[in-house]
Chain A
């Protein structure tokens, strides 16, 4: 802000920004508020309780779904984040960037139901083809490769999360000066060593953020997973089926709030961590500069 600008205009703009964030979050905050009410939604009297959260953790179906969701989130992160790093490195050196961007970011623009439907039919056809090839080769090894289940849900989630991880890693990589790699290579380091010892420490915050985003996105995803999962349930599919069958029960409010708390805690931790880290780096830089300054 320049010295001649109206400070109230600046404050009003900040207030507007925070108002929009609060409005975007208000439905979630309201659900959290209701989840602690013993009498549930719309009751005249508000009595604080943690009972509904206790119910979630004693629900076997829910705990089973949580297990599946966590497994999916972990295996998706293991593939998505290295893919995002590889893709970002490829993008930086690619001659024709349009196609790389197009391929990696297009899933953002394709609605979940449309992509889920396309992938569902693709896997079913792929499965038919593999069974046919297996029959022709007199082997049944390939019969279940793309049967709807964990693997197909996993592939769907990788495609869903890659654009987000790619953008996060690419933005972090944008600040890295490639001359450092060139210098390391000139000193005799292998390509891997130059990446691991020089580049990776500098893009680590982006990689960590990409991991966190991927896990959260997997935890929250519903449409693609419900179409591609086959026989098992994830956290959101249980939640939605309960919501659709029984309406918003007190348990549904608690489940929704629980997932939201996890997501907010993860993002909050990332923001705090980057704040603390930048403070620490700043302090280190000031400490190094101090003898020179004096």
Chain B
């Protein structure tokens, strides 16, 4: 009986053990593999910082920084467009319907990312939906050619791909904000801007931060975005890693992965120290 009890208790740990072995360990080992020596088709144990030197002293670094800049712009746009929706759903939609309304934002997310990104090509290109509509409405007389295969195309792709996440994380964060706070603020004569700036944003900070990190990290890590929408010059960390694997330069791919991991976990650690990110799941506890 004791043995069965122990086995049953052990079963609860199975998912965590699985994640440790097949997620945490490979991610941690990227740092080790990144200092291995490159061979013709693989790599061998050793210690060299050549992959990092290769990354930091080439155009790859500037491409990485440029992709960070584009990602930051996408984060700001997603916040401005998406967070008010989370507030609206929490504040104005009846409690029973809130989750269903949020589910609406899962709908685009459930369509393959590949399809959504590829589908943007016919929408944004010279004779695509956007240009045809703009010309039909008489807003422009000629097609705009500076959208697709430019950083603008990548940013649009990032916003359309990741906007639902700021709604989800914002909504989860807003669940911890009591509704009467809005009424109290309004009764005290605070403007909408002031309510957002001084009350809502600080209270929803953990959710906003988590959503922003998600968008930022995926913006610099999803290779398909610059590959499909950014044209020949657009590169991000994900694309550098996949290109390195295609070129059989595994230490470089692992160095890029390690840099991404340090960026990600550094941001998450900072966010957790500042806002305690577990509070996002507080209502579910």
Which residues in A have some Cβ–Cβ distance to B below 8 Å? 1-2, 10, 13, 16-17, 20-21, 23-28, 30-31, 34, 41-42, 83-84, 86-87, 89-90, 92, 97-98, 100-104, 106-115, 117-122, 124-125, 155, 158-159, 162, 170-171, 173-174, 191, 213, 216-217, 219-223, 227, 236, 239-240, 243, 248, 252, 256, 259-260, 263-264, 266-267, 270-271, 274-275, 278
Q: How far is the CB of A118 from chain B (nearest CB, A)?
A: 5
Which residue of chain B has its CB nearest to the CB of A96? B278
Point out the residues of chain B lying under 8 angstroms from A171, CB to CB.
Answer: 284
B22 touches A159 (CB 8 A): yes
Given known contacts A16-B85, A30-B123, A114-B256, is B108 in contact with A21 (CB within 8 Å)? yes
Q: How far is the CB of B211 from chain A (nearest CB, A)?
A: 11
B26 touches A263 (CB 8 A): no
Q: Which 6 A-B pairs have CB atoms at the shortest separation, nearest pair first?
A: A111-B221, A220-B112, A113-B238, A27-B119, A174-B284, A122-B26
Point out the residues of chain A lying under 8 angstroms from B253, CB to CB.
Answer: 117, 121
CA distance A256 to B284 in the complex (A): 36
Given known contacts A1-B92, A83-B14, is B103 in contact with A109 (CB within 8 Å)? no
Point out the residues of chain A lying under 8 angstroms from B217, CB to CB.
Answer: 109-111
Which residues in B have some Cβ–Cβ distance to A below 8 Å? 8, 11-16, 18-20, 22-27, 29-30, 33, 42, 81-82, 84-85, 88-89, 92, 96, 100-101, 103-108, 110-116, 118-123, 127, 129, 160, 163-164, 183, 213-214, 217-218, 220-224, 237-239, 241-242, 245, 250, 253-254, 256-257, 260-261, 264, 268, 272, 277-278, 281, 283-285
15 interchain pairs, CB-CB under 8 A: A21-B105, A21-B108, A30-B119, A30-B123, A86-B11, A90-B12, A97-B278, A103-B16, A109-B268, A113-B242, A114-B256, A174-B283, A213-B110, A219-B112, A236-B112
Which residue of chain A has its CB nearest to the CB of B23? A159
Point out the residues of chain B lying under 8 angstroms from A98, CB to CB.
Answer: 272, 278
Main secondary structure, interface of A, reads helix
A259 touches B163 (CB 8 A): no
Given known contacts A92-B285, A220-B114, A248-B122, is B88 in contact with A17 (CB within 8 Å)? yes
Q: How far is the CB of A93 from chain B (nearest CB, A)?
A: 8
Given known contacts A98-B278, A117-B242, A263-B111, is B18 in contact with A86 (CB within 8 Å)? no
A117 touches B16 (CB 8 A): no
**How many pairs of A and B residues are in contact by the CB < 8 Å rule?**
240
A86 touches B112 (CB 8 A): no
Which residue of chain B has its CB nearest to the CB of A100? B16
Point out the residues of chain B lying under 8 angstroms from A111, CB to CB.
Answer: 217-218, 220-222, 237-238, 260
Which of B16, B218, B277 has the most CB atoms of chain A within a 10 A radius of its CB? B16
